[in-house]
Amino acid sequence: MHPLLLAAATAALAACATTAASTPPAAATTTPVASAPVASVGAPNSLTAAERADGWTLLFDGSTLNGWRGLGSSGVPAGHWVVEDGAIRKIASGKVPVQADGQPLAGGDLMSEGTYRDFELSWDWKVTPGANSGVKYNVSEALSVALQPIHAAKGFEYQMIDDDRHADGKLPTHRSGALYDLIAPNERKSLRPVGEWNSSRIVLKGNHGEHWLNGALVVSYDLGTPAMDSALTASKYHGWPWFADRRAGHIVLQDHGDEVYFRNIRIRALR
């Protein structure tokens, strides 16, 4: 690991331990922050004047990976990501060494250069048969590279997966739309067939979070509540006391080794 990243990681871990001990949880929010989305009338990977006026900005311009780099890297991981037909394509990695949860040991998560604290993020995505991926948020690069595998983000994950063909789809909290390993999507979920585009949104404001899938609110949670604390304790994240701390974090497209596609990635700050 680069000496600067190691120093940043050590400092961040110490700071998070202090914050976790001293910051009380915020009160839960039960009313959705976002309303049902209105479909964009513009071309893919573009914004209308009205959307710009509402504060939306593009994270993907439809033709380059400007504004993105590998987590723990200075550039885009070679052989992992490419722009193709107006979409970001995760190139399938083939049979490579993996860790216990299936992520490549030497993967290459793609990370936004900017960080975002309270925001609404929307994007379109599709998977190939048997594929698994996700969008991660509230991600600290320094904390992520302090743990193996160093190029994999440690943060909240909006799960994107072939529910029927991938083994992980057997677990409710590992299915598309889930807050991975924490909260399963509800009965409003409507997932389009493999190979077709889905539309998703993440809303994060204060301690309140939402996952939307194809126009329906499928996950809603509040950090610091007994229900969320119990879910964290029972999850793969239980050994990371800093994991659920709120921060200005990166947006990350997960490299799980499978071929998946992203487009229309846009974000706006919430105040």
Buried b / exposed e over 66-89, threshold 16 CB at 10 Å, is: eebbbbbbeebbeebbeeeeebbb
Hey, what are 259's tokens?
A: 């071929």
pTM to 2 decimal places: 0.84
Would you state the pLDDT for residue 258?
Answer: 94
For the chain of 271 residues, list the mean pLDDT of each consecutive stretch of 10. 47 45 40 61 89 98 98 90 97 71 71 98 98 98 93 96 96 98 98 98 98 98 98 97 97 95 98 93
Give the domain 3-23+45-269 fold: Jelly Rolls (2.60.120)
C-alpha 9/C-alpha 132 separation (Å) is: 28
Domain extent listing, the chain? 3-23+45-269
3-state DSSP assignment of residue 207: coil
C-alpha 173/C-alpha 165 separation (Å) is: 16
* Rg of the chain taking only CA atoms, in angstroms: 18
Would you state the pLDDT for residue 78?
Answer: 81
**What's the angle, vertex CA 243, arms to CA 199 and CA 14, rounded to 5?**
145
Would you state the pLDDT for residue 2?
Answer: 45
For the beta carbon of residue 227, count every other beta carbon within 10 angstroms. Answer: 11
DSSP-derived secondary structure for 208-259 = EEEEEETTEEEEEEETTSHHHHHHHHTSTTTT-TTTT----EEEEE---SS-
Hey, what are 120's tokens?
A: 């609404």
